[in-house]
Structure formats: C-alpha cells, structure tokens
C-alpha cells in the first residue's frame, strides 16, 4: 500500500458540482473578468485541500479552475488548478479502479488542488 502523502484527510462523498476552467497561469487569472469554459460533474472525494470530480468534460492538467458546490448549508466557490485527469474506462491505475463505481456520472476524472484550504465539516458531506 502506498504511503499517504496528502496534507488533509479525504472524505468520500457524492456532491454535485459545477466548475469553470480557464486558460493561462493560475496565479494570474482574474476570475471576475476572464470568461471560462464550463463543466459539471460529481465530487466523489474531497478534502480541505482539493477534490476529485467525475465528469464528461475534458480539461487540461495545469488549467486554472473554479469549483462551485454546496456541502450542507455552506456554498463554496473555490479557486484552484487541475493537477490530474484521466479516463475511467480501460484504466489500470488504482485511482481509476477506485472511481469505477462512479462511471454512471461520467467517463473521466479531474483532480483539483484548491488554492487555499477550505473549512470542511465531514458531518455535512
């Protein structure tokens, strides 16, 4: 088994999400002025530092992103960047195997690292 290298604990969930993604440097994007491409999906696991989203949308690693979702009574609009993507079908990686149960929600996954940690209450997920 691989050693856990993440800073924050991950929580399995099924949260509907929308996300905007942008071209350019994540540190220089003005999220209020830049017109994004839009996507949607289901967050299947989340931590204070990021989320894994099952989607039908194709996005590029390194793209700036804004993830929009609700957890409990809290609404989030979290800037970040896409750090991993992949297709679920015919993918032998551990990540894809773990996410195969979500195949009805989409045929690909994206992992988003949040720019700043968000406050999460595991009880509301």
Q: Where are the domains of the chain?
A: 23-117
Output the CATH code of domain 23-117: 2.40.10
- Contact call for residues 43 and 79 (beta carbons, < 8 A): no
- Distance, CA of 43 to chain centre: 6
Paired strand residues for 41: 17, 55
How do residues 76-98 score in pLDDT, each as one tens digit? 999 999 999 988 877 777 776 77
pLDDT score for 24: 74
Mean pLDDT for 10-14 is 92
Cα separation, 22 vs 101, in Å, equals 29
Residue 62 corresponds to which tokens in the numbers above? 């390194």
- Contact call for residues 42 and 17 (beta carbons, < 8 A): yes
Q: Which 3 state secondary structure label does DSSP give 26?
A: coil
Q: Which 3 state secondary structure label does DSSP give 57?
A: coil
How do residues 15-61 score in pLDDT, each as one tens digit? 999 999 987 777 788 888 888 999 999 999 999 999 999 999 999 99
Residue 54 corresponds to which tokens in the numbers above? 């099952």
pLDDT score for 64: 92
Cα separation, 116 vs 48, in Å, equals 8
**What Å distances lie between residue 90 and 20, 85, 110, CA to CA?**
27, 14, 16
If you ran DSSP here, which 8-state letter would residue 74 be given?
A: E
């Amino acid at each position: 088994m691989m050693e856990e290298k993440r800073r924050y604990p991950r929580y399995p969930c099924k949260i509907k999400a929308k996300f905007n993604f942008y071209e350019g440097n994540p540190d220089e994007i003005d999220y209020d002025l830049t017109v994004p491409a839009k996507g949607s999906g289901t967050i299947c696991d989340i931590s204070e530092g990021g989320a894994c989203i099952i989607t039908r949308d194709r996005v590029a690693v390194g793209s700036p992103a804004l993830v929009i979702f609700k957890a409990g009574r809290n609404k989030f609009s979290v800037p970040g960047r896409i750090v991993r993507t992949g297709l679920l079908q015919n993918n032998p990686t551990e990540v894809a195997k773990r996410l195969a149960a979500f195949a009805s929600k989409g045929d690909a996954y994206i992992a988003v690292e949040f720019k700043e940690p968000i406050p999460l209450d595991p009880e509301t997920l």
